[in-house]
Structure 1
Amino acid sequence: MIVRTDPFMRGVRRMWKEALLQVLIACLPVFMFMVWYSKPERTYYTHIFVGIGCGIAMLLNMFFSTINDHGSNFDLRLVPYLIGSLYGGIPIAVVLSTVLAATWTFEIANHWEYLLLFVGISVYAPILFSRISKFHSSNRKGKLKIAAILCLILVIMQSTENAIGLSGLTTTDKWEIGYIALIFAVLLVAVTFVCVHFTELSFERIQLQLQLHDVSMKYRNEVRKLQHFIDNSPLMVVFCDSKGRITHVNDLMLTFVAPLGRNDVLKKKFSVLLEQMDVQAESDPVARILKGEEKLTEILKWNGRMLYTVYFPIKETLPEENEGVLFIGHDVTELQRLKDEVDRMERLSLVGQMAASITHEIRNPMAVIRGFIQLLNERSPSDQKSYFRIVLDELDRANAIINDFLSLAQNRIVEKQPSSLNELLSDLLPLIWADANMRGQMVDIRLDENIDLFPMNSKEMKQLILNLSRNGMEAMNDKGVLRIETLNLPDSVQLRVIDSGTGIPSEKLERLFEPFYTTKANGTGLGLALCLSIVERHNGKIHVESEAGKGTTFIVSFFKPVYMYG
């Protein structure tokens, strides 16, 4: 049994004091790095900072190390050397290796230690450099494994040096040196592991900051996209909080409540918007949603437009809690117009079916009746001929109505030839002027000389122009002026028929082209419907502008084929 003398215990106590100081110095670069590495933008300079910090720690470890009576010292400069080399990269590892070799050179007392230093560096440096790239690509567990292997090699090298120096010592001195070597090996591995662990914590902290920053940026981008979508959506969108106050309103909604701006409506009750739009509601729909109703839909009419509106609650995480109300409004005016157009086409189809089924059945008896009326007219006294003429005129009028039925109902393919609208009007002017003279009216013709040709059916186009002209004449008094214009536009040829009559009320304009709808006392309601049918067969559209007391303008646009302007 070995008896430990007082000098031995004093050596152990001194060794532990030195060990504590060496551990603090060895860990100093890591703690400095944790304080310094607090911002993601410093990532680029981490290897430089770690290299400088570890170099300083190596010099401090050397400065504060002491040599005992047997020539061995307790020096943990290998810890910052190892940490700095692994995290600093190969350039830093080369610099630190040079510093380590230089400091050890000054401490060599025996010639054989030079050889041992040369062999140690020659063996250890290639192993260290080969592990650096793998160290950076590994996870924490892999990095600890690499650090453990490198520490084991250092322990073996240090143990070899100590073993060489044991010759000639007493057993007690050998135990003391062995004890110091064991503590050194344990502390070398433990402190290296601690340094790697806390360094990785610093990197993970910055990684979390970067991930948090990326998530935050993605969240902000998604919020910005959603905000952009809401503000530029073709829907009216309004958000209200749990107290019914407006928290957000998109741009389209603001156009409906002009001149109020966004700042004028935020934090106000939703009823402010309804009042500005002059919409009368039986109750506040937002308040009804806040009281527990799941969904409300309403159809609002505003300035001649139809709005489909929906109110529904915005739920929080707990289903029973209501965070606010979302209002969405959709302008369905165009959809309603399309629906009305479909209804009109269905009525036209019904008219066509009626006309096709009864035309021949009516025409044949009427032809027989007209023939007998003409025969009776020839054989009747002269004072009764006027009666027969009235009957014949009414039969002709009934026959004209039947012809309009047929023209409106036929969805046939008409033959078209490129023609000039001006030439067609020139052929019709005598008829139009004669009709105007009989009514005591004037006709003003304004033709565009550079009019382009476009495919048309001359017979149908004459019927269209005569119908529009006679409608205009019938709407004016005996001093009225009918103006007929042609315009050559880049993509269309335009015909305008303008009268100076009393105009058409706005509520009647929408139904003007419906079959059987007329504003005349003796009209059939088929003339304008027939005009619309002709225009559509000629790839055109017809538009009416009218103001009470100032007359009416029929604008017919015939679109040119693409090859003429495309």
Structure 2
Amino acid sequence: MTRRNRRFPDDQTFLLIGCALSITLCSMLSTTLLGIVYLNLAILPAYIGILYGNYRSGLSLSVFFLLCNVLFSEPSGLSNMILNTGILLYPLLFGLARPFKKGTVIEKIGMLWMVLFPSMLFISLVPILSGEDIYETYSEDKLLLIVYLFLTIALGGFFIYFIETAWDRLQIKEQMESSSENFKWESEKLQQITNVMPLSIMSLDEHGIVTGLNEFMLKLIHNHFPHLTREALLGQPAGKFLSKGVHEQVCERLGNYVSNNQSCSEKMTHEARTYHISMAPLPQRITGLPSGVVVIVQDITEEEKMRSELDNVERLTLVGQMAAGITHEIRNPMAVVRGFLQLMREKSPDEMNSYYQIVMEELDRANSIINDFLSLAQSRISVKEKVLLDHIIEELSPLLWADANLRGQSVEVHLDPSLPRLHLNVREIKQLILNLGRNGMEAMGAKGVLTLETRRTLDKVELMVRDTGSGISEVQRKKLFVPFFTTKNQGTGLGLSLCLSIVERHNGTIIVESEEGVGTTFTVSFPYEEEAVEFIVVE
């Protein structure tokens, strides 16, 4: 076990240095009893250092202890030095070093006493070997020597217990620091994972107070509360910013689920964005009671848009199937019926002409619906050619002016002379312009103005068809290009769907801008690429 602060030595080296200093001090403060018995507690740090250290450090410590005995012990002499240092027990001491390190506290104390007791016994035999028996002559000195012997043994056990306790505390402290660092790292790693997940995540306590949130949730909140920071959000009730714009019934249902310790999910729309909100309680491990809530918000606006487009595709597929099925079954009988009506009209009285006219107009209207079906169901590749959009509009202008004159309206055309040539299917673009123009005329009353305008931007050409009609509401604008949706009394709901399919076949886009009571503008954008200019070098 080593210290985490690398400026200090490891714990074993620190202990050996302490043992060496203790040997020095004890040797300097040592004394003799009656000039015969050498009293030196340096034997305790010497033995403890040898048992805790490795072979090299133990050998160095034992040599240092012998040197101190040579310098300070009294009386001197080889035999006294051998007995006072217990050098005869060093082989046993070094042999116990390995099992000593693996033993428990009690086992370590026992091993130390196993070596210490014979050493102290040898020290007590020094007077006998010297020929002086102090155990019979001096009773007080004898008692003092016995107390010294047992005190040394007791101190040895106490020092072992103290060292082990100190090391256990140090180990526990380092384990706590290591666990704390691991926990901190895992928390940071979890935060990093939540920050890169494309989900807005927030955690609340049992009182609805914000305790944490990831970067996506912070960005989501900034969309509605740009002035709030992470520090300002933490510790605040989540209802302050979650309830804004959310239907009260949705908030109430979410709150009821959480209070009942249940998971829940709701879909809500706010400021033209659609969100899926999931909430789940965070129960305590022991009691199982909810101690907080995790809130996950996912922006599913694009998914909803894609789902709506897929629905439109399914409807268009159905339209195509219907058109393919009814084309030959209906158009031929209708042509026969219309031909016989014309013959009957010629042979009928003049007062019947108005009735025949109504029937024939309705047949023509039914035939027009069938043509719209066929146009919408076409899936063939459009044959395109390089033409100017302005030329197509100029060709259609007389037809639009004629329709406008019949309604008491006017047409204005503003063309950009700098338009580049585009790859267009002329027939389809004519149908697109006629549909948008006639829709605008039908939306206006007398004296209305229909404006056709073209302009060039950085990477596209735009065609704008603007009317001065009553405008379209936001709810209706969302359904404009849905097949069969119409705001007209006699409309088929396929005209704008046909326009959208034409624009998409030309890799373009169509945008609707409308204001009720002011008018509507359809903007069709066609992409184009700059043509390379060829330079001819004349020699």
* Aligned ranges 1:20-419 → 2 under 5 Å: 44=9, 46-47=11-12, 49-69=14-34, 71-84=36-49, 96-97=61-62, 99-106=64-71, 107=73, 112-113=78-79, 139-141=102-104, 169=131, 191-192=155-156, 194-223=158-187, 229=194, 234-235=199-200, 237=202, 239=204, 241-242=206-207, 251=218, 254-255=221-222, 258=225, 261=228, 273=241, 276-277=244-245, 279-281=247-249, 284=252, 288=256, 292=260, 294=262, 300-309=268-277, 315-316=283-284, 323=291, 330-372=298-340, 395-410=363-378, 412-414=379-381
Q: Distance in 2 between matches of 1:98 and 1:264?
A: 67
| Native 8 Å contact 1:234 1:330 kept in 2 | yes
SS of corresponding position for 1:73:
strand
Which of 433, 441, 446 in structure 1 is aligned with 2:411?
A: 441
Q: Give the direction of change, closer, same or farther, for the CA distance of 1:408–1:449 in structure 2 (3 Å limit).
A: closer
Shift of 1:302: 3.6
Distance in 1 separating the partners of 2:86 and 2:205: 76
TM-score where L is the length of structure 2: 0.70
User: Is 1:501 matched up with 2:471?
Assistant: no
- Write out per-residue CA displacement over residues 27-79 of structure 1, whole angstroms, 9 at most, x where no aligned residue: xxxxxxxxxx9996776464564344323321332244433458343433132
Q: Give the distance between the partners of 2:287 and 2:480, measured in 1 at CA.
A: 52
Q: Give the drift of 1:508.
A: 0.9
Q: Given the superposition, is the C-alpha separation of residues 447 and 71 from structure 1 closer, same or farther in structure 2, using an over 3 Å criterion?
A: farther
Identify which of 485, 501, 512 aligns with 1:544.
Answer: 512
Q: Partners in 1 of 2:328 and 2:142 — Cα distance?
A: 129
Contiguous gaps of at least 5 residues in structure 2: 405-409, 530-539
CA contact (8 A) 1:544 1:554 kept: yes
Letter in 1 for 2:455: E
CA-to-aligned-CA distance 1:145-168 (integer Å, 9 cap, x gap): 6x9778867877887898898657
Output one character per residue of 1:176-199: Cα deviation in whole Å (capped at 9) or x when no partner: 999999999987776555434432
Between the aligned partners of 1:115 and 1:297, the Cα distance in structure 2 is: 86
The CA deviation string for residues 84-115 of structure 1, in whole angstroms up to 9 with x for no partner, is 45657788657644542332222375664599
Structure 1, unmatched stretches of 5+, are: 1-36, 561-566
Q: How far 1:362 moved relative to its partner?
A: 0.7
Over 3 Å counting, the alpha-carbon distance change for 1:87 and 1:348 in structure 2 is same
Asked if 2 retains the 8 angstrom alpha-carbon contact of 1:545 and 1:552, the reply is yes
Match of 1:553 among 514, 522, 535: 522
Measured at CA, do residues 327 and 127 of structure 1 come closer, stay the same or move farther in structure 2, by a change above 3 Å?
A: closer
Distance 1:191 1:120, change over 3 A: closer
Matched, 1:480 2:450: yes
Is the 1:240–1:270 Cα contact (8 Å) retained in structure 2? no
Q: 1:108 to 1:530 in 2, by over 3 A?
A: same
Q: Which stretch shifts more, 338-347 or 472-481?
A: 472-481
Distance 1:184 1:448 in 2: 115
Seen in structure 2, the aligned counterparts of structure 1 residues 475 and 45 have a Cα distance that, compared at 3 Å, is same
Whole-angstrom distance in 2 between the partners of 1:537 and 1:494: 16
Would you say the 8 A contact 1:446–1:486 is kept in 2?
Answer: yes
Q: CA deviation at 1:511?
A: 0.3
Aligned residue for 1:515, secondary structure, equals: coil
Identify the range of structure 1 (225-234 vs 520-529) with the bigger mean alpha-carbon deviation: 225-234
Judged with a 3 Å threshold, the aligned counterparts in structure 2 of structure 1 residues 307 and 442 are, in CA distance, closer, same or farther, namely same
Please give the per-residue CA displacement for 1:469-518, whole angstroms capped at 9, x wherever unaligned: 554565566543211335453xxx55443414334221211000011212
**Contact between 2:466 and 2:521, CA under 8 Å: does it hold in 1?**
yes
Cα distance in 2 for partners of 1:245, 1:149 equals: 60
RMSD between superposed Cα atoms in Å? 5.5
For residues 413-470 of structure 1, what are the alpha-carbon distances to aligned partners after superposition, in whole Å with 9 as ceiling and x for unaligned?
A: 52666x65xx2525523323223433331222337656787xx766545544554455
How many angstroms does 1:277 deviate by? 2.8
Q: CA deviation at 1:80?
A: 1.1
Q: Which residue of 2 aligns with 1:431?
A: 395
Asked whether the equivalents of residues 240 and 246 of structure 1 are also in contact (C-alpha less than 8 Å), the reply is yes
* TM-score computed with the length of structure 1 as normaliser: 0.67
Distance in structure 2 (CA, Å) of the matches to 1:367 and 1:360: 11
SS of the residue corresponding to residue 443 of structure 1 reads strand
Inter-partner Cα distance in structure 2 for 1:559 and 1:182: 111
**Hey, what's the Cα distance between the residues in 2 that align with 1:164 and 1:344?**
111
